[in-house]
Amino acid sequence: MPSPITTEHYLVLSAMLLLIGTVGVLLRRNVVVIMMSIELILNAVNLNLVAFSHHLQQVNGQVFAIFIIVVAVAEAAVGLGILIALFRNKETVLVDEIDLLKW
Amino acid sequence: MTDIAFFYAFAALTVLGAILTVTLRNAIHCAIALIASLAGIAGLYLLQKAEFLFVVQIMLYIGGVMVLFLFVIMLVNLDGAAKERQYHRHWIAAVASLIGTGAIFATFLHRGAGSLKLESPLPVVPGAGNVETLSMVLFREYLVPFEVASLLLLVAVVGGVIMAKKRID
């Protein structure tokens, strides 16, 4: 008997997560929360990949999800390093106060 | 039947955690909410028989990345930021993305779940476990990307240390 939870359920959930993450990136002023929203976006993509991997019974989607996790970890490490350096120089974590390159 | 219950439980955990992550004021509360959300996603992986990713999600995301986030929140003083205005003045872009995705959702829900025209899912092949199959594919077809990923991690480690160091001589 096929499961009542279809691939579409996972796709809708993934779209919702992506939307919440995008709104977080666009709306929040705190850099730390913006980086957390980016993690949410990456997880939405992973959920999509795993859903299709399950749908097609091919494991390649999960391999791609692993690579995305690796890139997300690297991004978090470098991003948080930049954040610490930024806080040391500017004493702020609010993105609209970091406007050195703004016209 | 249990499938439905577990899916909706994990989905609710994921979405509620995500919403709290982008709305809460205190960054530590945001991190806790994000941990809940990531745990929900891990449960969804398990429902889809991706056991290896389930373990990776818990060990790497909840155990690794979130601890890194909490460390940085500890190092960076966020008390002042928590008292400030939390949202940008440039909210038009966010509203536009909300409206766009909302329109896609409305169309999707209006036309029903069958409108995606996915082929019917292939039957589950009994055989080797998830970790075995995954490792076979990872170390045979994707060996070069795997090595490049290790190089990327090395660069990220060195870059993170240099960036966070007190003074560069």
Residue of B21, B107, B115, B168 for testing the chain A interface, max A β-carbons within 10 Å: B21
Give the tokens for residue B149: 């990923």
Confidence at residue A33, expressed as pLDDT on a 0 to 100 scale:
92
* Chain A: closest CA distance from residue B133 (Å): 7
* Chain A: closest CA distance from residue B83 (Å): 11
Nearest CB to B163; choose among A3, A74, A82: A82
Confidence at residue B116, expressed as pLDDT on a 0 to 100 scale:
63
What is the rounded CA–CA span in Å between residue A87 and residue A38?
20
| Burial zone of B113 (CB within 10 Å; 0-12 exposed, 13-18 middle, 19+ buried) | middle
Give the tokens for residue B22: 């982008």
Mean pLDDT of chain A: 88
Q: What is the CA radius of gyration of chain A?
A: 17
Confidence at residue B29, expressed as pLDDT on a 0 to 100 scale:
92
Query: Which pLDDT band, with edges at 50, 70 and 90, does A91 fall under?
Result: confident
Length of chain A counted residue by residue:
103
* A91 Ramachandran zone, left/alpha/beta (phi>0; psi -120 to 50): left
Secondary structure class of B87 (helix, strand, coil): strand
What is the rounded CA–CA span in Å between residue A93 and residue B32?
19
pLDDT in 10s for each residue of chain B, 169 residues: 788 899 999 999 999 999 999 998 888 999 999 999 999 999 999 998 889 999 999 999 999 999 999 988 888 877 777 777 777 777 787 788 888 878 877 887 777 656 666 666 666 666 677 888 888 889 999 999 999 999 999 999 998 888 877 765 5
- Which DSSP letter does residue B124 get? P
Confidence at residue B75, expressed as pLDDT on a 0 to 100 scale:
85
Per-window interface: B 81-140 vs A, CB < 8 A = 81, 84-91, 93-94, 97-98, 101, 104-105, 108, 113, 116, 118, 121-125, 130, 133-134, 137-138
How many CB pairs below 8 Å do chains A and B form together?
231
Nearest CB to B159; choose among A15, A51, A81: A81
In sequence order, which residues have a C-beta less than 8 Å from that of residue B18 and are 6 or more positions away? A16, A17, A20, A21, A40, B33, B34, B37
pLDDT digits (tens, 9 = 90+) for A9-27: 898 899 889 989 988 988 8
Nearest CB to B76; choose among A63, A67, A93: A93
In sequence order, which residues have a C-beta less than 8 Å from that of residue B24 and are 6 or more positions away? B30, B33
Query: Which pLDDT band, with edges at 50, 70 and 90, does A87 fall under?
Result: confident
A46-57 mean pLDDT = 90
Minimal-distance CA residue of chain A relative to B51: A62
Interface touch B138/A63, C-beta < 8 Å: yes
Confidence at residue A55, expressed as pLDDT on a 0 to 100 scale:
86
- Is residue A11 a contact partner of residue B104, using CB atoms and an 8 Å limit? no
Interface touch A46/B163, C-beta < 8 Å: no
Nearest CB to A55; choose among B44, B118, B138: B118
Minimal-distance CA residue of chain A relative to B114: A8
* Chain A: closest CA distance from residue B126 (Å): 11
